[in-house]
A and B are shown apart, each in its own frame.
Chain A
Amino acid sequence: MSAVRETAGARAVPELELVGVEKIFETKRATTHALTAIDLTIEREEFIAIIGQSGCGKTTLLRILAGLVKPSEGAVRAEGRSLWDGAVLDTETVNKLGIVFQDPNLFPWYSVEDNIALPLKLRGVDRKARRARAHELCELVGLKGFERAYPRELSGGMRQRTAIARALSYRPAVLLLDEPFGALDAMTRERMNLELQSIAAATRATVVLVTHSINEAVFLADRIVLLSPRPGRVRSITRVPFPRPRELDLETQPEFQDIVRELRHQLDEDA
């Protein structure tokens, strides 16, 4: 009986939690109210997409989740632990998060495997284990055979795969992605979406994806958070009912398009 309650209790702690988050950027010339009254709870292994017009604060929201930006007000919690203790970042909690930026930001002086293994190197993992993990990840993200290549020898899609593999190297519980495929062409992007889906399934990571593509959001996410701009606030949260994994032709189905239409309608109203 108590064991059951304990499991239930453990489940009740959400993976990520934002409570009353406000963010105000102050510069000499302007004060920007970027985010206001953000309450968001993300469950374990959930796939969340954050959409909204450019400038609505979705990237800021992700950076707050990643601990790169400190919220002006409110709390950020990962597995119930606060990310910030005053002005000090709880590094142990942040170490459970993996982030992929819009730009792959690979180090040109490192090979693909060294780039992927960089977080492990910083954590003091020995060389042999690092290489083994890098090779394993190359296989997962479809970079087998490119382990020794330099980033400049890769295509845009392959670079972003490397960046994803780097974020996965230390097995983060949460993967935070900031428009990772924004710079890729439509076809590569579709393929990367399918791969992201299978990577999420294989690693059982909780995923938060910032995107400006409604289709991408509906295709990948369990829930879609739509932000209204200036200041950014949660306008709606849409649950996407289709079971995962999903196939590309889902996008042609009327139920899929209904959700896309409704979200587009909401975005247009904000404009």
Chain B
Amino acid sequence: MERERFMKLLPWISTPLLLIVTVVVWKLSTTAFDVSPFVLPPPEAVAQTLLEFLRQPDTWLVHARITLVETVVGFGFALVTGVVVGAVLGRIFWLELAVRPLVVALQVIPKVALIPLFVIWFGFGLTSKIIIAAILAFFPIMLNVLLGVRSVEPGHREVMRSLNANRWQTFSSLDFHSTLPYVFAGMEVGIVFALIGAIVGEYLGGNEGLGYMVVVSLNALDAPRLFAVIILLAGLGWLLFFAVNGIKRFMIPWHESVIETGIS
């Protein structure tokens, strides 16, 4: 019991400690090894920039909102299409067999290499970034759903069959619940991928978004600002991931991935 409580508290103690250690090592390496502030700015310079950001949110909030919109809208498209395509391919075996080589071929394309193409096709605005975010998030979601609809336990199916359940009942009481954990596994990967897509898209074209701020800071050789924007991006990624994770905890509280880690 004592041990169990300790295990529950452990991450809450270890995380701040690790953060402090990181900052200390960071500070030490800037002073002890005489690293150029252009390469590694001291932590206080970055903190200074972050404080400025806090004081003047209008310098970055617009950009953050742009990146957020691109990521969330792209992710939304990926979720809908990923679930539909994954479910259809999972249920219709011959169709999956027919398109499998194509899917694998598309999957192994380093998709960020396509970004310049999308910029040419859809311009420097939001559309090209939304499409990139959607494409990056689509594959993990679709593949997880495909696996999920095929992973319904035969024993569970047999129960439904022995109870004379019709198609709709079998779906709503069995397939839906059984596939949800896979949907969420895909979503957790997908949301991070969508953010990556949006940012890389902003690197390459346009004049808005946090990715654009990264490029501007780089061109100005403003290392503290670069670091500060990266930290903002990390915060955005964290926010998005935990939003998905929170929905998951609410939707499938029964699942292993949600059960609080105890020692058995």
Asked if A105 and B254 make an inter-chain contact with CB atoms under 8 angstroms apart, the answer reads: no
Chain A residue, CB-CB nearest to B161: A68
Q: Roughly how many angstroms separate A59 CA and B137 CA in the complex, as a whole number?
A: 46
Chain B facing A: main interface SS: helix
| Contact flag A103-B162 (CB < 8 Å), given A109-B252, A122-B173, A152-B254 | no
| Contact flag A94-B159 (CB < 8 Å), given A107-B177, A108-B255, A121-B173 | no
Asked if B163 and A101 make an inter-chain contact with CB atoms under 8 angstroms apart, the answer reads: no
CB distance from B169 to the nearest CB of A (A): 5
Asked if B158 and A119 make an inter-chain contact with CB atoms under 8 angstroms apart, the answer reads: no
Asked if B155 and A118 make an inter-chain contact with CB atoms under 8 angstroms apart, the answer reads: no
Asked if A68 and B162 make an inter-chain contact with CB atoms under 8 angstroms apart, the answer reads: yes
Q: Which residue of B159, B164, B252, B254 contacts A95 across the interface (Cβ within 8 Å)?
A: B164
Count chain B CB atoms within 10 A of each CB in A94, A105, A109 and give the residue with the most. A109
B residues less than 8 Å from A105 (CB atoms): 153, 155-156, 158-159
Asked if A122 and B153 make an inter-chain contact with CB atoms under 8 angstroms apart, the answer reads: no
A residues less than 8 Å from B162 (CB atoms): 66-68, 94, 97, 99
Encode B239-264 as 1/0 by CB contact (under 8 A) with A. Answer: 00000000000001011100100000
Count chain B CB atoms within 10 A of each CB in A91, A101, A118 and give the residue with the most. A118
Q: How large is the interface on B (under 10, 10 to 19, 20 to 34, 35 or more residues)?
A: 20 to 34
B residues less than 8 Å from A97 (CB atoms): 162
CB distance from A61 to the nearest CB of B (A): 15
Asked if B163 and A122 make an inter-chain contact with CB atoms under 8 angstroms apart, the answer reads: yes
Asked if B254 and A108 make an inter-chain contact with CB atoms under 8 angstroms apart, the answer reads: yes
Chain A residue, CB-CB nearest to B252: A109
Asked if B255 and A107 make an inter-chain contact with CB atoms under 8 angstroms apart, the answer reads: no
Q: Determine whether B189 belongs to the interface, using a CB cutoff of 8 Å to chain A.
A: no
CB distance from B179 to the nearest CB of A (A): 11
B residues less than 8 Å from A146 (CB atoms): none
Asked if B163 and A109 make an inter-chain contact with CB atoms under 8 angstroms apart, the answer reads: no
Q: Which residue of B153, B163, B252, B255 contacts A119 across the interface (Cβ within 8 Å)?
A: B163
Chain A residue, CB-CB nearest to B164: A91
Q: How large is the interface on A (under 10, 10 to 19, 20 to 34, 35 or more residues)?
A: 20 to 34
Q: Determine whether B66 belongs to the interface, using a CB cutoff of 8 Å to chain A.
A: no
Q: Determine whether A150 belongs to the interface, using a CB cutoff of 8 Å to chain B.
A: yes
Within 8 A of B (CB), among A47-105: 66-68, 91, 94-95, 97, 99, 101, 103, 105
B residues less than 8 Å from A67 (CB atoms): 162
A residues less than 8 Å from B84 (CB atoms): none
Asked if A109 and B177 make an inter-chain contact with CB atoms under 8 angstroms apart, the answer reads: yes
Q: Roughly how many angstroms separate A259 CA and B173 CA in the complex, as a whole number?
A: 45
Q: Which residue of B159, B169, B177, B254 contacts A101 across the interface (Cβ within 8 Å)?
A: B159
Asked if B155 and A101 make an inter-chain contact with CB atoms under 8 angstroms apart, the answer reads: yes
| Contact flag A107-B174 (CB < 8 Å), given A68-B158, A101-B158, A101-B159 | yes
A residues less than 8 Å from B25 (CB atoms): none
17 further A-B contacts with Cβ under 8 Å, apart from A67-B162, A103-B155, A105-B155, are: A68-B158, A68-B161, A97-B162, A99-B162, A101-B159, A105-B156, A107-B159, A107-B177, A109-B177, A109-B252, A118-B159, A119-B163, A122-B163, A122-B169, A122-B173, A150-B254, A152-B254
17 A/B residue pairs, CB under 8 Å, sorted by A: A91-B164, A94-B162, A95-B164, A101-B158, A101-B159, A105-B158, A107-B159, A107-B174, A108-B255, A109-B177, A109-B180, A109-B252, A109-B255, A118-B159, A118-B163, A121-B173, A122-B169
